[in-house]
A and B are shown apart, each in its own frame.
Chain A
Amino acid sequence: MTWQELWGKVLGFPTGTPEFILAAAVLLMIFVLCVFPAAAFLSLVDRKLSADVQARVGPNRAGRWGVFQPLADLMKLLQKEPARAAGWREGFWLGVLTVCLYSTAAALPLGSSLILVNTGSSPLLVFWVITALSVCLMFLGYNQNSVPGWFSGTRLAAQSLSGAFPALLSVLCVGLWAGGFEWTRIAAAQGADPAHWAIVRDPFLLLAFAVFMAGGLVVLSVPPLGSGFSLSDIKGGVASGFHGRKIAFFHLGRFYGLFLWSVIAVVCFCGAWNLPTSLSQAVENSDYGILGVKMIEPLVTIVKAAFLMLFTMLFARVMPALRSDQVTDFAWKVLSPIALVALLGTGLWTLWGGA
């Protein structure tokens, strides 16, 4: 069953509906049903958990246990009007952000039936879009028209590029091991059981996974490997002059970058969306049929990605941030050689039939 047939049936579109209309509807659905709720839920969990770790109360006003806090924040931010006119660089950032958000959703590997673009370059497309998301933040810094703004923008771009190289090598390791870069091929090479995950089956992929996650912290500028997003401008906060709707978009883009990175990590290294055979057969034999299986798959991916994100967020909360030159040094001089070793090792492991 192709995605067109599946989602045409689920969304109730008549047969023969143009593919672009169907794709637009699915993209909208991915955002409305997956990305936005995940962003709201994870931001709340992050705030509650980090408050607990930091001996604070955390959000507790909007609804019971503060469950409506993300909604309240969004409402507040959307109502604020801009205090100053946006420059062309800010417009450029907003344009890149929007393009990135929509274009990557097509290749977002949430489940076998949710991938609209499944080619040999799908992982690389998503990967480079995440890098573009980070690098375009440089323009936000430049938009401040000040010395710290230029510094912060340049620092972020340098960090992103330095982290992208070892992370890209890590993705190459997976492609080498799986025999191709299609999401479905990478997923099929793994199993639901952790013993069949890529990081367990090939020791070099465990190394690549560590590099990929560390590279993610660098690319997305998450402490301890970077913190230049919203600090005071002397330390390089590109968003230090932001408020209102723009800060809402900014946070959404930042969340989406981390979400995407975690999803890629899950699909490439941690068993993708695979369900245990017994479970998938049980669901398939039930009234829900194959549709039920296809619905559970994104849930599995999102839950795994959420765990990775929460771990990353908690790690970021307790660790001090390194200086930007220390971060780039770490990426070029530590992560990149390790990634090269992982690539070489994976090649040899695959060549000699270790996988």
Chain B
Amino acid sequence: MRPGFVQSAERLERLPTDLTHWEIGPFHPAVPGPLKLRLTLDGEIIAKLSYETGFAFRALEKRFEMRPWRSGLPYADRLDPETAIFGQVAYCLAAESLMGLETPKRAQQVRAVLCELARISAHFRGFVQVAKSVAADTFMHYALRDREKILDLFELITGARFTLNFLRFGGVAQDVTEGFLERVADVCDLLRARMKEYNDLFSFNDAFLGRVCGTGIVTQEVAIKHGLTGPNARGAGLSLDVRKAHPYLVYGQTDFEVPLGRGEFGVTGDVHDRFLVRLREILQSIEIVKQVCESMADGPHQLLGPMDPLPTRAGEGFSRVESPRGLLACYVASDGGNGPARVQFVPPSVAALSALPELAQGACLEDLPVILASLDLSVAEVDR
């Protein structure tokens, strides 16, 4: 044997050819935001995944503490810009419980309508991510087209399409504009019809089922271990919905169902279950919106005027709301001063992200974007 060959063979033996290491991010089209993923690959199979966050840290909670109560409100929108209204609802409910404010029913109903519309919009955004991950361009455009209808409604009532900044302590900034409720009903009817189109085109498409059934399975044990909530937990069959368990706003007076994953085409808790749960939640949101719009109460939309002093006092307030991504909790503490002494959010994406290494382990590399999209993560609320 030639000496050079021996040397090459020895070198080859010393080479760590069994596992490959690859870092993705923090800025990469496959990740949902500034997020770094460290992969150890065995061929195309993910042997290990770890993640690093903090690239979008904005000291958001500290900003609340540095400002008067009312000035902090727009920052609650920025907790997760995609589901902006939920940050404000959580913050307002927590602050109102601390201040002892009783919001008028009409304001609560407007808040509920906006929340459900935002839930539909956020789920559409989630569909876009899933469609992108499996290169389904047409469905992606359909979801974006329908999401625009919701954003139009936001613009009609708040003047903004994305970060609405529409809530105030003790109510909402404006009453609903003329014709708004009728237009909401029209959009709801349209979206209900579109759901069938989605199912025909995408939900039960064989190629899509081949990609998502049996992929990224969240078992009930995994969901409980990582504290998953929202569609990610409900996809695993866990019936946990804050709107039912701890009703807030007017959810206690509305009739709706909580869709759960049943493993209809694959395994309970797989990507397809999470997709279907979100799809069915849109139908439930439409139901809630219609019920609330039909029973819209007369009366004021705000308890306090913009210049009225807030009844601040020393103490603590706490709220939990069902955001499109799961349970969003907010804690506020006050020393009786002009602004909050402490504000803390517990967003659902933190738990979902913590489950990612377990879900990705053993999955094919090509499935990683699908799993990420199905978890519907918001890096903005993780880093906050």
- Partner-B contacts on A (CB < 8 A): 50, 53-56, 147-148, 151, 223-224, 227, 231-232, 234-236, 317-326
Q: What residue in chain B is nearest A148 (Cβ atoms)?
A: B22
Let me know if B138 and A147 touch, CB within 8 A.
no
In B267-300, the 8 Å CB interface with A consists of: none
A-side contacts of B137, CB under 8 Å: 50, 54, 317
Q: Mark B109-144, 1 if CB is under 8 A from A, else 0.
A: 000000000000000000000010111111101100
A-B interface contact total, Cβ < 8 Å = 76
Let me know if A54 and B205 touch, CB within 8 A.
no
14 further interface pairs, Cβ-Cβ under 8 Å (given A224-B207, A318-B138, A323-B366): A50-B138, A53-B138, A54-B141, A54-B142, A55-B141, A231-B135, A232-B369, A234-B28, A235-B30, A235-B135, A320-B134, A321-B135, A323-B211, A323-B364
Q: Known: A323-B366, A323-B367. Contact between A56 and B141, CB under 8 A?
A: yes
User: Is B365 in the interface zone, CB < 8 Å from A?
Assistant: yes
B-side contacts of A320, CB under 8 Å: 131, 134-136, 139, 202, 205, 207-208, 211
B-side contacts of A236, CB under 8 Å: 366
A-side contacts of B131, CB under 8 Å: 320
B-side contacts of A325, CB under 8 Å: 44, 364
B-side contacts of A223, CB under 8 Å: 135
Let me know if A322 and B205 touch, CB within 8 A.
no
- Complex Cα–Cα for A321 and B140 (A): 13
A-side contacts of B367, CB under 8 Å: 323
Q: Known: A151-B365, A235-B369, A324-B366. Contact between A319 and B136, CB under 8 A?
A: yes
Let me know if A322 and B141 touch, CB within 8 A.
no
Let me know if A322 and B145 touch, CB within 8 A.
no
Residue contacts A-B, CB under 8 angstroms, 30 given: A50-B138, A53-B138, A54-B138, A54-B141, A56-B141, A147-B22, A147-B41, A151-B365, A223-B135, A232-B28, A234-B29, A234-B30, A235-B133, A235-B366, A317-B138, A318-B136, A318-B139, A319-B205, A320-B135, A320-B136, A320-B139, A320-B205, A320-B208, A321-B135, A321-B211, A322-B207, A322-B211, A323-B211, A325-B364, A326-B210
- Complex Cα–Cα for A319 and B208 (A): 8
Q: Mark B20-33, 1 if CB is under 8 A from A, else 0.
A: 10101000111000
A146, chain B: closest CB distance, angstroms = 8
A-side contacts of B141, CB under 8 Å: 54-56
Of all A-B residue pairs in the complex, the 10 with the closest CB atoms, nearest first, are A320-B136, A321-B135, A54-B141, A232-B29, A320-B134, A234-B30, A224-B207, A147-B22, A318-B138, A227-B135
Q: Mark B132-168, 1 if CB is under 8 A from A, else 0.
A: 0111111101100100000000000000000000000
B-side contacts of A50, CB under 8 Å: 137-138
**Centre residue among A53, A147, A227, A325 by max chain B CB count within 10 A:** A147
- Complex Cα–Cα for A41 and B364 (A): 39
User: Is B368 in the interface zone, CB < 8 Å from A?
Assistant: yes
B247, chain A: closest CB distance, angstroms = 38
Let me know if A234 and B207 touch, CB within 8 A.
no
User: Is B201 in the interface zone, CB < 8 Å from A?
Assistant: yes
Q: What residue in chain A is nearest B140 (Cβ atoms)?
A: A54
B25, chain A: closest CB distance, angstroms = 10
A17, chain B: closest CB distance, angstroms = 50
Let me know if B368 and A234 touch, CB within 8 A.
yes
Q: Known: A224-B207, A232-B30, A234-B365. Contact between A147 and B20, CB under 8 A?
A: yes
Let me know if B22 and A55 touch, CB within 8 A.
no
Let me know if B145 and A55 touch, CB within 8 A.
yes
A237, chain B: closest CB distance, angstroms = 10
- Complex Cα–Cα for A151 and B135 (A): 18
- Complex Cα–Cα for A147 and B207 (A): 26
B-side contacts of A323, CB under 8 Å: 210-211, 364, 366-367
A-side contacts of B365, CB under 8 Å: 151, 234
**Centre residue among A53, A54, A320 by max chain B CB count within 10 A:** A320
B39, chain A: closest CB distance, angstroms = 8
A-side contacts of B369, CB under 8 Å: 232, 234-235
- Complex Cα–Cα for A232 and B29 (A): 6
Q: What residue in chain A is nearest B141 (Cβ atoms)?
A: A54
A-side contacts of B134, CB under 8 Å: 320-321
- Complex Cα–Cα for A322 and B210 (A): 7
A131, chain B: closest CB distance, angstroms = 23
- Complex Cα–Cα for A148 and B365 (A): 10
A-side contacts of B138, CB under 8 Å: 50, 53-54, 317-318
- Complex Cα–Cα for A235 and B368 (A): 9
